[in-house]
Amino acid sequence: MSSSPSSSWYDTLTSTPVLIATAVGVSFAAIFAASSSSSKTPQQVKEQVKEIKNAAVNAGDAKGKAAQTGASIMSAPATDLAPPKDDPISASDLAQYDGSDPSKPIYIAIKGRVFDVTAKPEMYGQGRGYNVFAGKDASKGLGMSSLDIKDAVPDYSSLNESQMNTLNQWESFFEKRYNIVGKVVP
Where on the chain is the footprint of ligand HEM (CB under 6 A)?
1-2, 20, 23-24, 26-27, 49, 52-53, 56, 73-75, 117, 120, 123, 130, 142, 145-147
Distance CA 15, CA 12 (A): 9
- Considering the complex, state which of residue 81 and residue 185 has its C-beta at the smaller distance from ligand HEM: 81
3-state secondary structure of 109: strand
Residue 186 C-beta: closest distance to ligand HEM, Å: 25
Q: List C-alpha distances in Å: 170 to 2, 43, 124, 137, 164.
A: 17, 27, 15, 13, 10
Task: Name the residue type at position 126.
Answer: Q
- Considering the complex, state which of residue 87 and residue 122 has its C-beta at the smaller distance from ligand HEM: 122
- Considering the complex, state which of residue 54 and residue 90 has its C-beta at the smaller distance from ligand HEM: 54
Residue 124 C-beta: closest distance to ligand HEM, Å: 7
Residue 155 C-beta: closest distance to ligand HEM, Å: 16
Distance CA 78, CA 128 (A): 22
